[in-house]
Every structure is written in structure tokens, then in C-alpha cells.
A = this chain, B = another copy of it.
Amino acid sequence: MKRHSSSKRFVVGVDLGGAKILAAVFDDQHRLVAREKKGTRPDLGPEAVVERTAECVNEALAAAALPHTAVAAVGVGVPGLIDTRRGVVLVAPNLHWRNVPFAKSLSKRLHIPVTVVNDVQAGTMAVQQFGAGRGLKDFACMFIGTGIGGGLVFRGEQYRGAGGMGGEIGHMVVVAHFGPKCGCGNRGCLETVASRGAIVRRIIKAMDDGQKSIVRTLCDGDTSRIRSRILAEAYRQEDKLVREVIHDACHYIGIGAANLINVLNPQAVILGGGLIEALGSRMLPRITKAAFAHTIAASDERVKILDSGLGDDAGILGGGLAARALVKSSPASG
């Protein structure tokens, strides 16, 4: 039976987002063997999303030409508050979920052990193991996408606070009273001035107000289709509106990074997520400049502002790592 156990040398990492599900198969060296993608469709309810996640995993396994029996575990990153021990998603606002026993439901469908972790936590694990965080003991991650999530590593270990709910850097208030209103009810949260969501909202409003932009053409007139890639293309084509809005966002991301540096004095602030994957090389110099204009005591010689180097793969890589940790913690499951 030992033979059987050691044959389960693959894991699957899943990044379950509000818009799309990504699943990837990793071998025992954590090399990516195959990947698949699927729309999440949270509007269909939790059961349907579990079903779609199972399909996405099955398709990735098919693409890798692997049977289910070759997979030791599946690790899923979910944007929300997770009880990892019980495998329950306690709250996931983007999915409109409350108390969904996700690990059990998915495991029942796949006949593979499943673990669920917070998506940013998964991404931070990946940055630490495979990205710009390698070799660092103290750093903060900022993932810039629809929202802004944060991961913290102190003394070599990920830190999420006493209640496991830390890292909500997107709701750090940076423009009290004067900033735009946030979904959380407040004004001036970092997310309202610096996320891709905020950038897109500002661009749509400006276009509606009559400002010209190539974005209208790039999205074929359907503004719901504006994603990081369209923003990057418009930026490359020197679209005035997009440049102005992105530059403002860089300024605020820099202030957010400076706040983390002033409070935590890390070795590095590491940027990731879809927007950074698409526009990192344009944005990083501006973010860095804004950050060090707002730090006290710490200088850019001592604290680095880095691209994660993982693009949008941090989630699946981290999901895979969570799966690997599950296998280690329960050796009998092989």
C-alpha cells in the first residue's frame, strides 16, 4: 500500500474569485502541469459554484491526463473569512456566501481531501515560497485587483491577527471625510481610490461625462468588460484619461505602502494581483516614489517595493501549497 500512497504525488490549487475560478495541477516539485479556468457565476448560489469548481478541477486533471487517484489534496483560496479547521466559508461578500461548508461539499464531489483558506493568505504563502518574498523574514503584500487585499509576514511567519481577520489594508482610511464612499460604508478607504474597481468606476464616470478615451473602443462599448488588460492597452497607447487615473491610483497605493512601512517597518512591500501583472512595470516606479515621499525614518535603501513576480498565479500556487500542507498534517489520508 506504500506504493499507492507515494503515487498520489500531485496537488490541485484553486483560486475561487468573484468572477472566475482558476484551477491548476502541480507535481511534487510544485511545477504547474496543467490549468483551467471557468466563470464563477455566484448568482447561481453556493451549490452551483461548488459544482463549477469541481468541473474546473476535473477539466484541469483531464488536461494533465491524470486520474483523481493521483491527487493527494485540493487547496482552495476563497475571498472571505474562513474557518479552515472545519472547512467552512464563514462570510464571502463577493460570493454572497455565509456559512458554506465548502470543503465537505467539494470533497464529496471529487473524492479528494479539500482544504479552504483565505485567498490573500494563499497568495501570500505563494509570494513567500516562490515569489519576491523568498528569503525575506518580514514583508507586507498588497494585492491590487477588484479590491485590495493584504498579507503580512513577520519573523518568517504569516500573521493574520488574533481573530484571523487581519490584512484588510483595502479598508485602511487614507482620505478621511474627503474620499469617495466605499462599499463598507465609509469614505476614503484605500480601495475607493486605488483598486482596479475604483479605477474602472472613475474612467466610466469620466467617459459618461463626455471625456474621450480609447477605452470605449477597446471594450466595444461594453464598459462591464473593462479589465486590467484593457487598461494596460489604453495606457500603452497613451490614453490621457487612463494615464491620469492610473497615476492617481499609483499615488494612493504609494501612500498605502508608506502607511504599512511606517507602522511595520518591513524589509519589503510586495505588490501583486491582476492590475500589477498587467501594468506593474509602469506603475511600480510611481508607487515607489509616492511611498518614499510619505515614509519617515525608513528609506528606499532599507525597504524595497517589489513586484511579486507571480502575476495572477499567486492564488493557484498558494492553493496548491495549502493542499500540500493538508497532506503533511494528515499523513493517513494518502
User: Which residues of A pack against B, CB within 8 Å?
Assistant: 81, 91, 137-138, 150, 152, 154-155, 159-169, 171-178, 184-186, 188, 252, 255, 258-260, 262-267, 293-298, 302-303
Please state if B265 and A173 are interface contacts (CB–CB under 8 Å). Answer: no
Q: How far is the CB of A174 from chain B (nearest CB, A)?
A: 5
Q: CA of A329 to CA of B157 in the docked complex: distance in angstroms?
A: 27
Please state if B173 and A264 are interface contacts (CB–CB under 8 Å). Answer: no
Please state if A173 and B294 are interface contacts (CB–CB under 8 Å). Answer: yes
Known contacts A164-B265, A165-B265; A174 and B171 CB within 8 A of each other: no
Which residues on B sit within 8 Å (CB–CB) of A259? 172-173, 259
Q: CA of A260 to CA of B295 in the docked complex: distance in angstroms?
A: 17
Q: How far is the CB of A137 from chain B (nearest CB, A)?
A: 7
Residue among A163, A173, A260 facing the most chain B CB atoms (10 A cut-off) = A173
Please state if A267 and B162 are interface contacts (CB–CB under 8 Å). Answer: yes
Q: CA of A15 to CA of B264 in the docked complex: distance in angstroms?
A: 24
Q: How far is the CB of A236 from chain B (nearest CB, A)?
A: 28
Which residues on B sit within 8 Å (CB–CB) of A173? 174, 255, 258-259, 294
Known contacts A154-B154, A159-B154, A186-B293; A172 and B262 CB within 8 A of each other: yes
Please state if A163 and B262 are interface contacts (CB–CB under 8 Å). Answer: no
Please state if B263 and A166 are interface contacts (CB–CB under 8 Å). Answer: yes
A-B contact pairs, 22 of them (CB 8 A): A91-B297, A150-B263, A160-B265, A161-B265, A163-B265, A164-B265, A166-B262, A167-B265, A168-B265, A168-B297, A171-B295, A173-B258, A173-B259, A173-B294, A174-B176, A175-B175, A175-B177, A176-B252, A176-B255, A178-B178, A184-B296, A260-B263
Q: How far is the CB of A134 from chain B (nearest CB, A)?
A: 15
Which residues on B sit within 8 Å (CB–CB) of A176? 174-175, 188, 252, 255
Please state if B294 and A186 are interface contacts (CB–CB under 8 Å). Answer: yes
* Contacts A171-B295, A172-B262, A175-B177 known; 12 new A-B pairs at CB < 8 A: A159-B264, A163-B265, A163-B298, A165-B297, A166-B263, A166-B264, A168-B262, A168-B297, A173-B255, A175-B176, A186-B294, A260-B263
Please state if A297 and B81 are interface contacts (CB–CB under 8 Å). Answer: yes
Which residues on B sit within 8 Å (CB–CB) of A163? 265, 298, 302-303
Q: How far is the CB of A245 from chain B (nearest CB, A)?
A: 16
Please state if A161 and B255 are interface contacts (CB–CB under 8 Å). Answer: no
Which residues on B sit within 8 Å (CB–CB) of A186? 293-294
Which residues on B sit within 8 Å (CB–CB) of A267? 162
Q: CA of A186 to CA of B150 in the docked complex: distance in angstroms?
A: 24
Q: Give A263's nearest chain B residue, CB to CB.
A: B169
Question: Top 10 closest A-B pairs, CB basis?
Answer: A161-B265, A166-B265, A168-B262, A138-B162, A162-B267, A165-B265, A171-B296, A165-B297, A178-B178, A172-B259
Which residues on B sit within 8 Å (CB–CB) of A263? 150, 152, 166-169, 172, 260, 263
Q: CA of A264 to CA of B260 in the docked complex: distance in angstroms?
A: 11
